[in-house]
Amino acid sequence: MGVDRRKFLKLAGVSAALGLGGATGFQLLRPGALDAAERMPTPYQMVFPKEHGAAEIMPNPKRLQGRRWGMVVDMRKLTPASARAAIEACNYYHNVPQIPGKQNIKWIWTAPYVNVFPETENPWADPDIKNAQFIVMCNHCDNPPCVRVCPTKATFQREDGIVMMDMHRCIGCRFCMAGCPYGSRSFNFRDPRPFIKKEYPDYPTRTRGVVEKCNFCAERLAVGKLPACAEASGGAMVFGDVDDAGSELRQLLRKRYSIRRKPNLGTSPQVYYLV
Amino acid sequence: MLEKALSGSKLYWTWLIGLLIVIAAGFGAYLVQYNKGLMITGMSRDVSWGFYIAQFTFLVGVAASAVMLVLPYYLHHYKTFGRITILGEFLAISAVIMCSLFIVVDLGKPSRILNVMLHPTPNSVLFWDMVVLNGYLIINILAGWVTLEAERKNVPPPGWIKFVIYLSIPWAVSIHTVTAFLYAGLPGRGFWLTAIMAPRFLASAFAAGPAVLILLGYLVKKLTRFDPGREAFETLAKIVCYAIILHIFFFLLEVFTVAYSAIPSHTSHLAYLYFGLHGHNMLVPWVWTAMGCGITAIILLVNPRTRQNPIILPIACVLVFVCTWIDKGMAMIAGGFVPNPLHEITEYAPTALELMITLGVYATGILVLTILYKVAIGVKQEEEAV
């Protein structure tokens, strides 16, 4: 981010002198605060934009903005091929390692109805639904248990609802993995780098000992791109603002019947399945 | 007082050296884990906590059980426990040290452990567990050491230590309650989602801890001629008896709620543990062994004649230990993760390296315990010789 130690101390010192204290320098160190800082330059940055890095963190004018991001998976449009394309796009753009065995890493994958929606069994349901492979990923819950249990705030929720990981703060206690009721989190049991097929240079690889998961492509939204899976899914996955009644996502949810994973747990998942 | 640990018999030194060898082997195994990551364990994406966290949970109980001596002695002036309360407090110290070590060896990024304090997060139960465990360690070091020192100098202990000792009583309950809350507050884990988790943990702790103390008491008596006294053993045995009955009773309450309500996300875990699920039954022999040990121990402990028998009592204590150790040290954690949130089954078994690291941590705790007991018994015998 270009806020090096010297710059930070200077910024903090001057802002303290100006009586701006907590509203400036320290905010930059808080996880998730960068976006808030992007939206709203501090008074100090407005006065001295060039000298103190404000220009570097000016938001990208093309970025996608939403009040509450969500995803719709249209099971009528999702085919094995489009699901595979979505998964492969995600794996590529996030350097998700392909580790064989039970210590694997998964951001987005497919599973049959009975596993995705346990305890909603209906033996006589439409076999097309029952036998379908559903796309599963982090639900970016409104009320995420993983954020509740994390002892270091390494996993946190942004104002736009995205549940994110700070890989540099995670201590690898895996409490979030016990907390997640959807099995959406993976732990780097080993160095993941040798298992990345083709490294994508614009997204960081991870180190062993930290937990990771889907981030709703926060890094792509920041430059005006849709999530990689939605882009590659051929229209089967629709990403949008749940809070915007006019969004395509909301129109789909209005017109078609949708279900969510384990809604009885009160987590309010933001991935909706049109069945 | 520590100088008492510096002189001892040949057996004492051989024992210490033996422990140091096991610690070195465990540390070597840990270096492999440190360099390769937790891939060397049997843990997986589905069973993301294993042997380390299970031992941690079991030992929090052993630590909390010191209250079973402190409470009768200090609150009810039950003088019989005067000679052994210090043994309970020192057992708590070594148990908490092992707990902390098990947390450290379980972390993916141990070098970042201070993040828990640098970014305190009150909404995380793990944060509170760190607070209460460290607090309990300090409380027991103070309570044990200060009273022992006063005893040695033949002066009454300072008045302020009473406050610390009284504080240790609710604090002991808190450490195991908070540890139960680590599990009991997670929405998607039916096996752990039960309000009786903390009472269950406390009951098994108050069975396991005093059982260990009785065994240690016999050992101390044999090795040092320091006699905790017949009555102390008998009272401890009664405590173990009540607690192990409660432990089994609480488990049966759990079974009723789970089985009669018949909600699959709750029944599947118990079914996996006790009967196996879809052909996966790795833990079945273990949990039935635990059940058999527990029930045999109850029979031996309820009957006064077998309970008071100096040969049968230690056997019953070993059975109680095996029962509670399998329950918490193996079944409780793995059982919660199998089946996983998608109702898929991945089983867990620890690897040899994982067991070696576990042994190393236990050896470290036993080393601390040996030194502390050496000091405590040295002081007690010196005082009796005068």
Beta pairing partners, A156: A164
Q: Which two tokens stand for residue A248?
A: 């395509």
Determine which of A14-23, A53-62, B145-154, B177-186 has the lowest per-residue pLDDT on average: A14-23
In-domain check, residue B321:
yes
Cross-strand bridge partners of residue A74: A274
Q: How many domains does chain B have?
A: 1
> Looking at the complex, does the CB of residue A32 fall below 8 Å from at least one CB of chain B?
no
Take residue B278 and report the two structure tokens written for it: 């879809």
Confidence of residue B203 (pLDDT cuts 50, 70, 90): very high
- B99: CB partners within 8 A, 6+ apart: B56, B59, B60, B63, B133
CA dihedral B177, B178, B179, B182 (to 10 degrees): 120
d(CA B339, CA A116): 13
Q: How far apart are the CA of B173 and the nearest CA of chain A, in angstroms?
A: 22
Is 60 exceeded by the pLDDT of residue A191? Answer: yes
Q: Do B119 and A153 touch (CB under 8 A)?
A: yes
pLDDT at residue A58, rounded to an integer? 80
Predicted confidence at residue A26, as pLDDT, reads: 40
The chain-wide mean pLDDT, for chain B, equals: 94
pLDDT of B154 > 50? The answer is yes
Please give the full DSSP string across B131-198, using - where no structure is assigned: HHHHHHHHHHHHHHHHHHHHHHHTSPPPTHHHHHHHHHHHHHHHHHHHHHHHHHT-TT-TTT--TTHH
User: What tens digit of pLDDT does each residue of A124-157 get?
Assistant: 988 888 889 999 999 999 999 999 999 999 999 9
**What is the pLDDT at residue A182?**
97
Asked if the peptide bond before residue B339 counts as cis, ω within 30 degrees of 0, the response is: yes
| Residues B290/B291/B292/B297 CA torsion (nearest 10 deg) | 90
Please, which pLDDT band fits residue B283 given cuts at 50, 70 and 90?
Answer: very high
Chain B residues 85-124 with CB within 8 Å of chain A: 103, 106-110, 112-113, 115-116, 118-119, 121, 123-124
Helices and strands: H and E segment counts in chain A: 11, 10
Predicted local distance difference test score (pLDDT) of residue B3: 84
Q: Does residue B21 belong to any structural domain of this protein?
A: yes
Structure confidence at residue A273 (pLDDT):
97
Per residue in A25-52, pLDDT tens?
343 444 444 444 445 565 555 665 555 5
| C-alpha to C-alpha distances, B286 to A85, B229, B247, B270, nearest whole angstrom | 45, 35, 17, 13
Tokens read off for A118:
């346990």
Measuring CA to CA, how many Å separate A101 from each of A189, B46, B176, B346?
Answer: 11, 11, 35, 11
pLDDT score for A37? 44
Q: How confident is the model over B211-236, as a mean pLDDT?
A: 92
Within 8 A of A266 by CB-CB distance, chain B residues are: 187
A149 CB within 8 Å of a chain B CB: yes
Over range B235-245, report the average pLDDT.
Answer: 96
Model confidence band, residue B59 (pLDDT cutoffs 50, 70, 90): very high
pTM metric for this prediction = 0.89
Judge: A209–B109 Cβ closer than 8 Å, yes or no.
yes
For A242, what's the count of Cα atoms within 13 Å in the CB-facing half-sphere? Answer: 16
Distance separating alpha carbons of residues A71 and A239, to the nearest angstrom: 5
pLDDT reading at B87 higher than 60: yes
Q: Is residue B313 part of a domain?
A: yes
Indicate left, alpha or beta for B229 from its phi (over 0: left) and psi (-120 to 50: alpha): left
Interface test with A, best of B44, B103, B338, B342 (most A CBs within 10 A): B342
Out of B36, B45, B265, whose CB is closest to A102? B45
- What CATH number does residue B38 fall under? 1.20.1630.10
Predicted confidence at residue B360, as pLDDT, reads 98
d(CA B16, CA B8): 10
Domains along chain A?
5-47 (no CATH), 69-274 (3.30.70.20)
Question: Chain A window 244-263: which residues touch B at a Cβ cutoff of 8 Å?
Answer: 262
Evaluate if residue A231 carries a pLDDT over 60.
yes
* B124 with A182: Cβ contact below 8 A: no
Q: What is the pLDDT of residue A20?
A: 43
Q: Read off the pLDDT of each residue in A241-256 and give the average, rounded to a whole number.
A: 96
Rounded distance, CA B26 to CA B52, Å?
Answer: 13
Q: Is residue B112 part of a domain?
A: yes
Domain of B29 in residue numbering reads as 2-379
**Chain B positions in Cβ-Cβ contact with residue A267 (cut-off 8 Å):** 187
Closest partner residue to A171 (CB to CB) among B113, B123, B342 is B113
- Among the partner-chain residues A101, A111, A172, the one whose CB lies closest to the CB of B342 is A111
pLDDT of residue A52: 54
- Would you state the pLDDT for residue A48? 58
Would you say residue A1 has pLDDT above 90?
no
A201 to chain B nearest CA, in Å? 24
> Do the domain assignments include residue B384?
no
What average pLDDT does range A64-74 have in this prediction? 95
List, in sequence order, every residue forming a beta bridge with A109; answer none if it has no partner.
A136
Q: What is the mean pLDDT of residues B91-99?
A: 96
The ipTM is 0.92
Residue B273 lies in a domain: yes
Test A115 with B342 for CB contact under 8 angstroms: yes
d(CA A137, CA A139): 6
Q: Quick check: B344 contacting A, CB < 8 Å?
A: yes
Q: Using a CB-CB distance cutoff of 8 angstroms, which residues of chain A are in contact with residue B342?
A: 111, 115-116, 118, 136, 182-183
Q: Please state, in angstroms and rounded to a whole number, the distance separating the CA atoms of residues A28 and A4.
A: 11
- The Cβ of residue B39 has, within 10 Å, a number of other Cβ atoms equal to 17
Give the number of C-alpha atoms closer than 13 A to the C-alpha of residue B178, restricted to the C-beta side. Answer: 25
